[in-house]
Structures are given as C-alpha cells and as structure tokens.
A and B are shown apart, each in its own frame.
Chain A
Amino acid sequence: MSERKTRFQRLTDFLSDRLPLHKLSFENMVTKKEVPVHGMSWAYYMGGLTLLFFLIQLVTGVFLLFYYQPTVSDAHASVEYITFFVNSGFLIRNLHTWSSSCMIFCLLVHVLTAFAMKGFARPREITWWSGSLLLILTFSFGFTGYLLPWHQIAVNATKVVLQSIEEVGRYLPGGFANLPTYIKELIQGEASVGQATLSRFYALHVVILPLIFFATLGLHLLSVQLHGISQGIDNPSKKTERFFPFFILKDFWLWGLAFLVVFILALCLPFESFYSYPLFEAFDSLGSTPDGIKPEWYFYFVYYPLEILPFWIVMLGMTFAGAGLFLTPSIFKHTSRKVLSIIASVAAAYLIIITFFGQAIYEAFKGVSG
C-alpha cells in the first residue's frame, strides 16, 4: 500500500479536520464547551460584542428601509425626512451610524486579539478565513452605506475612491492596464457617480452584502462552536469556565452595557456633528466640490497614507496586507504568541496613531513639501 494519499483524500482529510461535523451536537457545542480563564480572557468577548452591533445594524437598517428612497433626486430628501420629521427617526439613524462605528471598532480589536492569541492555528483556519471575509464585508458595508445619504461629502468621497481604483491601471502591464477602469465602471455603472451607482450601492448594502454576511457569519460561528475556544496563551492554566450558561450570561451582561452606551450616544450626540463639513447639502453634480472631503474614520488607515505617500507604495502595502490577512494561518504557523502579540501591538499602534493624528501628520508633510 502506498503511503501517498490521493488529492481527493487529502481534501477530505483537510475538511474533516477543520470542520469536525461529528462534533455537531448540542452537548458538544453548548453544554460541554469550556472557556479558558486567564489574563487575556476579556478578548473572548469582542466577537460577541461585534455580533451585538451587527444585530443593532440589522434592526435599525431594516427600520431605515421603511423611509429611505434610493434615487438621486430623493435620497437626500428622504434622509432629511427621517432625521427631522419621523418620530424618533433621528434616534434610529444615529443608532445606525454609531453602531456601525462601534461594530468596526470591536471587529478590529477582535481581529487583533485573535491574531495575538493565535486563534488561527490549526484546526481553526476556517474560522480565521471566514472572519477575514467578514472583516472585508464589514468595511464594504461601511463604504456602500456612506454613499446612500447622497450628500456632498458622501458622493465626492465615493468618487475619489472609485477614481483611485482606476489609478491602479497606471502600474499594471499592458494588457491589464484597462482592467481597473473596467472594474470601476462595473461598480459605478455609468460614466460618473450617478443614479446607477446609487442603485448598485443600495442593492449591495441592503441585499447582497447582508446575504453573504449571513452565510459567512454562519460558517464562522459554526466553526467557532465546533472547535471550542482556542487556549489563547502559550502556557494555559487549568482554569476554565463553562460556556453555557456562565460565559454566555456574562456576554449578555456586556451586551446590556454596550447597548446602554450606544443608546446614550445615539440619543445625545449626533454622529454627524463630528464631520468637519457642516452643511450636509444634497450632492449637486453641477456645483463645485467643497473642501474637507474625507472618508469615515475607519478608512483613515488607508486614506492618510494615500494622501502622503506615492500611490504605488500604498497599493503595494495594501496588497501585501490583504494577502497577509488570508495567508496568516500558513505564514505564522510556527510563530510564538509572544511574537504575534508584538506584531498585533504594532498594528494597533499604527491604527491608533493614523486615526487620531493622521490629519496632523498629513499637515506636517504638506507643510514641508509645500
């Protein structure tokens, strides 16, 4: 008998190792599940928090659908109608915006901590990959949702991003040079950002992305429950906590707190008051572009580098980061958690610095060069 397995066998082995469906029972997934207790245990709650904010997004998003009208002439008016005339419409919309930011924040913390705790190590590759996809989907939600109010900053920021895609073409060899333009027009749907773009973004934001998100989230949660929670530290103590009911009740406790905070924020602090562009007019295709066009804060990590560095460096960096995200399970297979924590801290430091001080750094650079 030969030792070598056929390709098909290897695939089935891989899958049965990664998705141990024989463990698919209530007992295994709920009653017997244990959560390790150690100094990093708080990080186990971040995924649950992200899920809470996603659920808030889902509910408030469906609510907004009742009044929102996705046409170029009515989109902005309908958003204004929700904000100023619908009973507690302001609350719902503000909840949607605040919770989107909270979701992205928790998601980033979740990704970084899961990375630092080596949550991607075998057999949890599928958890990591589905999680990475969820990360990208969440950012896509942010990007598509930003356009829907159809105000000046939203449309102009979207234009800038779509134009950047075309820019990639300059660095591609001959035959591929037109590919980015092609992709841009596929997303945009017409010569410039207009009704076709709005309809596409609406369809993406409201139907397509949620459907993909549900499927991916299902796979993510299934594999999390099948494998149980990763040990998280190199020398795990023996102390564990039962997932059900103890961990999950603490999770709910945290959910209550998180909802309280986001509700207070949504009730008292309009998210839009942070935008520097204050007048929120509807997009006027014949008027001038106002200054202060910026994406949401969670895109600063790529926006400011784009402003400061040459385009191709940023694109190269983003390509590597994206590839690295999906290849993490194989790249860092043998890396210790200590090293992983250092990498995660560096990434976190970068995100914090660029988000808070991006503007200052940008001005410093421009001041020197100009």
Chain B
Amino acid sequence: MSDQFLFIALPYVALISLVIGSILRFRINAFSYSSLSTQFLEDRWLAWASMPWHIGIIVILTGHLLAFSFPGVWTTLAAEPVFLITVEVVGALCAFLCLFGVLILLVRRFVDAKLQAVTNHLEIVVLLILLIQISSGLAVALLHRWGSSWAPGALGPYLHSILMLRPDAAYLSDMPPFVKMHIATAWVLLMLLPFTRLVHAMSLPFHYFFRAPQKVVWNSSRSEARFEQRLEKDTERRLFIKASVGLGASAVLLSLGTLDKFFKYFLKQDLSNEQEAHLLSEKLHRLKQSAQEREYELERMSKDDIFVAKLSDLSKTKGKYFIDYQMRPALAFRDENGLPILLSAKCTHLGCTVGQDLDEQGRVLCPCHISYFDIKTGSPSAGSPAKDPLPHIGWALQNEQGKTLLAQDAEGRREGSIEPGQLESSLLFIVKRFSGEAA
C-alpha cells in the first residue's frame, strides 16, 4: 500500500507541483527564479561547501540522466568492466564531495549568526532532504554494488511507466529499502523544487555564453587595477583547475583502461587443464629435440663411424639430411651407378642450409641467396653468390655384419670393393678418419 502511495501517487503529485509550481513562480515573481546568494554574508565556509557540492552533483545528475535517457547504450557500455569501475569510482567520489559540501552548508546555517537571519525553515528542510538523498544514494552504491550496471535495466521501466501515464509500482516491489528511499526522496525533492532555492537548477545561465560583452566602468583607477588583478588571478586559477581536472581524469582513465593491462601481465595465468597439457607436451618435445642434438654431438665425439642410412633408402632426386662430424647439416644422395654421394649442406656463401631437392640439371639450391650447387662436383653454378664448392664427405659401405666393403674419402679416393648384388643391402656410414678434424 505504501508502495502505491510513494511510487505512484507521490510521483504525480511531484510532477504536477513541479510543472505548475515552476510556471506560477515564474509568472508571479520571475526575479525570484534563482537562489539568494549568501556569499555576501559568509564566504569562507561557502567556498568549501558550494564548490564540492556543485561539482559532485553535476557529475552525478548527468550520469543519472544519461543512464535513464539511453538505457540501451548505457547497459552495453557498463558490460565492460573497465567502464563500470570507472563510473562507479567517479560516482562514489562525487557523492562524497556532495556529502562533504552539503554537511558544511548545513552546519554553516546553524553556526553563523548573520546567516541565521536570512535562513527560513524551508532552507533547512531542503538541505536535510538533500543530505538524506545523498546518503541513501551512497548507501545504495556501497551496499548494492554496480548500480550503474543494474539500475538502468531495473528502474528504467518504472520511470517509463510513470511518464507514459501507465504507472506500475510492481517494478520496484523487490527493490532493497535504500533504493526505495532514494527514489521516494527524489520525488519529494522534485515536488519541493519550485518553492525553494533549488529552482535555480532550472535557470542555467547559458546566455552568458552568447551575450554581448559588458563594459565595466570603474569610478576609481585604483579599484579598477585591483579588479584587473583579481580577474587575472581568477583566470589563472580557472586554467589551473582545468589543467588539473584534464590531467587527473586522463590519469584515471589511463590507469583504468590502459595501464591495467600492464598490471594484469603479472597476475597468475588462468590456464585450462588442456592448455597446460599442450604447453607441457610442447616443452617436452623441444627438450627431446635438444637432447637428441646432444646425443648426436656425443656420438660424433666418441664413435669412429656413424650410420647414415640404408643405401637402398637413399633417393636419386631428394637428398636425405644428416649431421656430419662437425655437427653441420649434410646431404646424402644416390648416384646413377648406385653409389652414395655425400656432401656438406652448409652453403659456402653465408652458411644457410641448402635445399634437399635436386633439379633437372642435378643441382641443389640454397634459398638464401639463390646459389645452385652441382652435387657431383659440389661446385656452384656460374653467377651464384657462393664461390667455393660444397665439400664432399667421405663414407663407408658396410654389410650387415659390420664389415666395411667399400670406402671413399673426401677427395674421392676409394678403397675396397663391392659386388653390385651387395649394394641394396649395404649400410652407409660416415667415418671419422675421413672427416677433416679427425686427421
């Protein structure tokens, strides 16, 4: 029942009072359409109260208006955590500014004798309601967090229903008490607005921007100079405030929207089991690879001959990579007569590994700077950047019992002999005594 009163009856009373009250006040006494300044009576407290209060309330009201005017856009934006945090932090800071300002405004009404002379009951009541409103808003912000995310969706339809003259308080029935209080107090404030100093919120001094410049004529040059000085000081102060606000806001946005990524970089990584497994297997694979390289190295240091391939597995057109005694890549082909051709695969130009495919002219290609090498002679073709031939590598053919049948050193000198029938089953080795450094 109280909901019906607070959220259906009260809003309409407030809206009617707002519209009619404002019009009447303007018609009856247009000059009262502002608030009486008390700066003349008391200005030390006022500076500390009025500034924070106005800065805070302008930001907060703008936020409320934007959120309820464009709930769709707002909700999309608020889905971004960074935006949500920014809005909530800025909102809370402004609310504290307001609270601070309104408390001082209230206190100064009570303690300053000059002020009390012009203070009527309504001034006190308005300040008290504002205090309640700010406190309840802060309470909502602190107790029911992320209001900027849920409020437009939850309260927007209610406001819509009021404005469309199809009031429905059911939207608010589940709301926590502080939210209800905040809304009800808002209606009360709207209701009282035309009859209090708050009416100045409706007479924003936009014409200041467009009016013709006023010439101030001073009656003494001394006061003029003093005024000029003061004006300059004011400009200076205004510029300084603008600069600080700009830089400060920029710093806040940077740290929330950009530099937060740098912070995240150091957090523990959230990996799924699958990802961890993938990473581990990758790592293991690479460890195996380097273990294999070490094995090769050890093998080349300690063994007199090293198995390359079964001779029958070698191809005439596609070389097989292996590692020679100097741990450099090398290629093994098979000759037309069935014997192996072994040559270094380290390009004599700048040390790239040459490709394994033989072209029609019996050459392999180094892809780095396009050098062709004839595999029979090892020499580069004319015009290749490489000038020196790829050195051949000595080899030995053994039968399955490990007996060396035929061997050839790097210069092509052969020893031993092999029957054509034995070729297919023989095994190809590289031999330490034929490799340069062993000699």
Contact = CB atoms under 8 A, between A and B. Distances in A.
Interface of A: 59, 63, 66, 72-74, 76-77, 80-81, 85-89, 91-92, 156, 159-160, 162-164, 167, 191-192, 263, 282, 284-293, 307, 366, 369-370
B350 A167 contact: yes
Nearest to B345: A288
Interface stretch (B48-56, B104-112, B309-317, B363-371): B363-371
A72 B265 contact: no
A312 to B, nearest CB: 13
Nearest to A260: B258
B283 A85 contact: no
Nearest to B293: A285
Given A81-B279, A286-B323, A289-B368, A73 B290 contact: yes
Given A85-B279, A288-B321, A289-B355, 8 more contacts: A77-B286, A85-B271, A85-B275, A86-B265, A92-B262, A156-B368, A288-B353, A307-B369
Contact of B266 (A66, A81, A293, A366): A66
Nearest to A162: B351
Contact of B265 (A88, A263, A282, A370): A88
A293 B286 contact: no
The 10 closest A-B pairs by CB, nearest first: A291-B367, A88-B261, A73-B290, A163-B350, A289-B352, A87-B264, A163-B351, A289-B353, A160-B350, A73-B286
A81 B265 CA distance: 12
B39 interface: no
B20 interface: no
A156 B352 contact: yes
A72 B354 CA distance: 22
Given A74-B286, A191-B326, A288-B321, A88 B262 contact: yes
A67 to B, nearest CB: 9
Contacts of B367: 288-293
B18 to A, nearest CB: 45
Interface of B: 258, 261-262, 264-267, 269, 271, 275, 279, 282-283, 286-287, 289-290, 293, 321, 323, 326-329, 345, 349-356, 366-370, 383
A298 B266 CA distance: 32
B89 to A, nearest CB: 21
Nearest to A294: B368
Contacts of B369: 307
A156 B287 CA distance: 21
A246 to B, nearest CB: 14
Contact of B355 (A66, A88, A288): A288
A185 B117 CA distance: 94
B269 to A, nearest CB: 6
Contacts of B262: 59, 63, 88, 92
B284 to A, nearest CB: 10
Contacts of B356: 288
Nearest to B258: A263
Nearest to B265: A88
B318 to A, nearest CB: 11
A285 B366 CA distance: 16
B265 A89 contact: yes
Nearest to A263: B258
A167 B279 CA distance: 41
Contacts of A292: 367
A89 B293 CA distance: 31
Nearest to A159: B351
A211 B289 CA distance: 35
Contacts of A263: 258
Contacts of B269: 85-87
A238 to B, nearest CB: 27
Contacts of B354: 288-289
A366 B368 CA distance: 13
B370 to A, nearest CB: 7
A192 B326 CA distance: 10
B352 A159 contact: yes
A160 B351 contact: yes
10 contacts: A63-B265, A77-B282, A85-B275, A87-B261, A87-B269, A91-B261, A160-B352, A288-B321, A289-B367, A293-B368
Contacts of B355: 288-289
A164 to B, nearest CB: 6
B436 to A, nearest CB: 13
A291 B368 CA distance: 6
A192 B328 contact: yes
A211 to B, nearest CB: 24
Given A285-B293, A286-B329, A288-B356, A160 B265 contact: no
A159 to B, nearest CB: 5
Contacts of B327: 191-192
Nearest to B348: A163
A366 B370 contact: yes
Contacts of B289: 73, 284
A293 B352 contact: yes
A88 B264 contact: yes
A52 B406 CA distance: 68
B286 A282 contact: yes
A87 B350 contact: no
Contacts of B328: 192
Nearest to A167: B350
A190 to B, nearest CB: 10
A81 B267 CA distance: 14
Contacts of B368: 156, 160, 289, 291, 293
A213 B354 CA distance: 39
Contacts of A159: 350-352
Contact of A87 (B265, B275, B282, B290): B265
A283 to B, nearest CB: 10
A370 B385 CA distance: 12
Most buried by B among A159, A307, A369, A370: A159
Contacts of A191: 326-327
A76 B275 CA distance: 17
Contacts of A59: 262
Contacts of A81: 279
B137 to A, nearest CB: 35
Contacts of A86: 265, 269
A37 B196 CA distance: 57
Contacts of A91: 261
A72 B290 contact: yes
Contacts of A164: 350
A162 B321 CA distance: 23
Contacts of A285: 293, 329
Contact of A74 (B283, B326, B349, B383): B283
B265 A92 contact: yes
Nearest to B329: A286
